[in-house]
Structure 1
Amino acid sequence: MTKNWLATGALALTMGMTATASYAQTTTVPGEQVGLATGAPLPEGIYALNTFVYRSNDVGAVDVGVNIPVLVWSTPLVPLGGRIELLVAPPTVFAFGKRGGPTGIKDLSINVGTFVGGIWAFDLGNNFGVSLLGGAYLNDLNGDRGVLVQNNGAFAGAPVLGQLSSNTYRFGVAGSYTGDGYNLTANLTANVYDSPGRFSGGGNTVGFGNTFGPFNISDSLNLDLTATKKFGKFEIGAIGYGTYNFDTSAFSLAAGDRGYFRMGGLIGYDFGPFTVQAYGARTVASATRAGEATEGWFRIIAPLYSPTPVAAAAPIIRKY
């Protein structure tokens, strides 16, 4: 496995929507860390990755896409033997109307607050690694609420992403085995909110209820699982991921949305200067109002800079 396959920390958000409401869930998109050996420390350097997901919902008036560009600096700092890696990511959410005509929903995009954070990753030996992550989505700084508008210009619903009325505080722990071309990784991610949250500026939209806040936001957990194997430059395997909301009471943005779990497969190819991965998953268990969905993912991983010459880096590459 080449070192750029270890790139870690793609950060984002996704959700299901109808024409009149959003289905709130964790700000970190479930499944966005699938395929990444997030428990293993990166070699020192700078890495870029971009992950895009398209969700086709079985019900509702829109499908959803999320684009997640991430820049990772794996620093030379190794306090107590753990590598410090710094992350920044500005995710964007897209909604695509599924119906034409005057009452169909217009396409729209929503900025998620920029994520800033860090990872402390340890090589435990024998190809095992573990990491801790901490950071925040700065939704109070530059996150949008999102407004649904019909093709005829009529207001359809807001906010689309009520959870962005609060900064999202993210914590994670991951473990990886990367020996013999395998990537066996489990990643647990928590999202914590200042609940209730309120959007700054403006007020409620007259005649359309509470579009301003405060909103009760559920804390949540994501679990991302990867089990893949490299065969030369090819990679193939199984993946699974899901989310769990703690507060599903009637006054919560996640009312009736306890969570879901999806399973599928992943393929990848190492082109040398960059690596690509594609994976897809389908709902296998669901306790949400949004119902079942199918998701397709595409990712590009590229190392931008390494202080270690390529020849000297070969032992590191072979190690993985």
Structure 2
Amino acid sequence: MVKHWLAAGAAALSLGFTATASYAQTTTIPGEQVGLAVGAPLPEGVYAIDTFTFQRADQPGSADTSFNVPVLVWSTPWKVLGARFEGVVAAPTVWSFSRTGGRDISANVGTFVGGIFAWDLGNNVGVSYLAGVYLNELNAGRFGGAQILASNTYRQGFAISYTGEGWNLTANLTYNFYDVPARFDGRNGIAAFYGAQVPSDALNLDLTATKKFGNFEIGAIGYGTTNLRNRAPFAFSSASFPTGCIGVGNCGTVGPSGGGRFALGGLVGYDFGKFSVQAYVARDVVNSVNYVTPAGRVRENDRTEGWFRVVAPLYTVAAAPAPEPAPIIRKY
């Protein structure tokens, strides 16, 4: 069971469409896969994963945001070049909660469809490659009163994990890029503008260092995201977005590219046998977005995030029984 829920993180996917995500143009939520050995191949079977997070930024008046990401992964019996193939589908939901009495918002955004190739290198080391796409289900839709014409998001992931002796030491790199320009118009905090707007690509890094003690798990986590400078990002002023941006790159006092954040925290988990749970809390230690207090002081708009995850194998293939030992024949 330990391998089941550690490796199940290879399918924990989500969408970073948030009313306070004014740090970087990332579609995959930073930190969603920490605590999971995303580099290790899953045993053959079908797995359900649900990850929930609640985020609060320091800036007064900014909206709180939460995400719920149900994921289904099929670890197939097929191998490609020695790698187990795992099919993945996820359907993330996002909520935005006003802290000033405004309107709360919810939306189903961007079903993810993809596949994972996971290699067991031996000695408890595994590596994986993920490729997939967040489908643009908001195309010609509305969010918070604004018309949104957005692109699909393509995702690649590269991970390495060590899972020996109860350890989970994992590094996971995620790259997001987009197929067509996005278009936004309307009111409710979204500036009125028209024409092609190209979001910057984004790079996320998730880090895990945890240890199992019986059924319990405890350890440290870190995660972050940054814009890449290879494409023209959005460059809106904080005046245009008084409560933050909605998944459209950098805002506030940062420049037109290179914005990002990094958070550190701790994780605890417990394996109940038929399913496992994890919870973790993290706080920004570095970010590129500032805000001005009523007293006129400039502060970093740090974010505190709480996470909860459930992993449940729905079906697994029973391991082949070990062969009976051959009788020992001794001659005298």
Q: TM-score range by the shorter chain?
A: 0.7 to 0.9
Unpaired segments ≥5 residues, structure 1: 149-157, 314-320
* Equivalent in the alignment of 2:25: 25
Cα shift at 1:194? 2.3
Task: Measure the CA separation in 2 of the matches of 1:66 and 1:120.
Answer: 26
SS at 1:6 equivalent: helix
Aligned mate of 1:192, from 174, 177, 192: 177
Give distance in 2, aligned partners of 1:144 and 1:127. 46
Letter in 1 for 2:283: R
Q: C-alpha distance in 1, partners of 2:121/2:114?
A: 23
2:120 pairs with 1:119: no
* Greater Rg over alpha carbons, structure: 2
Q: Which amino acid aligns with 2:289?
A: T
Residues 164-183 of structure 1 mapped to structure 2, 5 A cutoff: 165-183=150-168
Deviations 1:216-263 (A, max 9, x none): 211000000000000000000000000001245636743537000000
* Superposition pairs of residues 297-316 of structure 1, within 5 angstroms: 297-308=307-318, 312=321
Structure 2 gap segments, 5+ residues each: 237-247, 292-300, 323-332
C-alpha spacing 1:181/1:244, structure 2 compared with 1 (3 Å) = same
Counterpart of 1:109 (choices 77, 84, 106) is 106
> CA offsets per residue over residues 182-226 of structure 1, 9 Å max, x none?
000000000001242237xxx756997536653321100000000
Q: Among residues 217, 226, 245, which one is paired with 2:208 in the alignment?
A: 226
Q: Is residue 236 from structure 1 mapped to residue 234 from structure 2 by the alignment?
A: no
Q: How many residues align?
A: 291
Aligned-residue offset at 1:307: 2.2
**What TM-score results when the alignment is normalised by the length of structure 2?**
0.80
Equivalent position SS for 2:102:
coil
* Cα RMSD for the two superposed structures: 2.7
Tell me, yes or no, if the aligned pair for 2:152 and 2:180 is still in contact at 8 Å.
no
- Find the residue that maps to 2:143 and give its secondary structure: coil
Q: Is the 8 A contact 2:223 2:263 kept in 1?
A: yes
Q: Which residue of 2 aligns with 1:10?
A: 12
How far apart, CA to CA, are the structure 1 residues paired with 2:194 and 2:142?
9
Q: Identify if the C-alpha distance between structure 1 residues 212 and 42 changes in structure 2 by more than 3 Å, giving closer, same or farther.
A: farther
Distance 1:143 1:279 in 2: 36
Which residue identity is paired with 1:190? Y
Tell me whether 1:274 sits opposite 2:275 in the alignment.
yes
- Post-superposition shift, 1:174? 0.2
Q: Percent identity of the aligned residues?
A: 58
Residues 312/49 of structure 1: CA separation in 2 closer, same or farther (3 Å cut): farther
Paired amino acid for 2:308? F
Q: Summarize the Cα distance change of 1:15–1:262 in structure 2 as closer, same or farther, 3 Å threshold.
A: farther
Comparing both structures, which one devotes a greater share of its residues to helix?
1
Between the aligned partners of 1:185 and 1:5, the Cα distance in structure 2 is 10
Deviation readout 1:277-305 (Å, 9 max, x if unpaired): 00010000011257211000000000000
CA contact (8 A) 2:199 2:234 kept: no
Q: Relative to 1, partners in 2 of residues 1:28 and 1:57: Cα closer, same or farther, differing over 3 Å? A: same
Structure 1 match to 2:48: 48
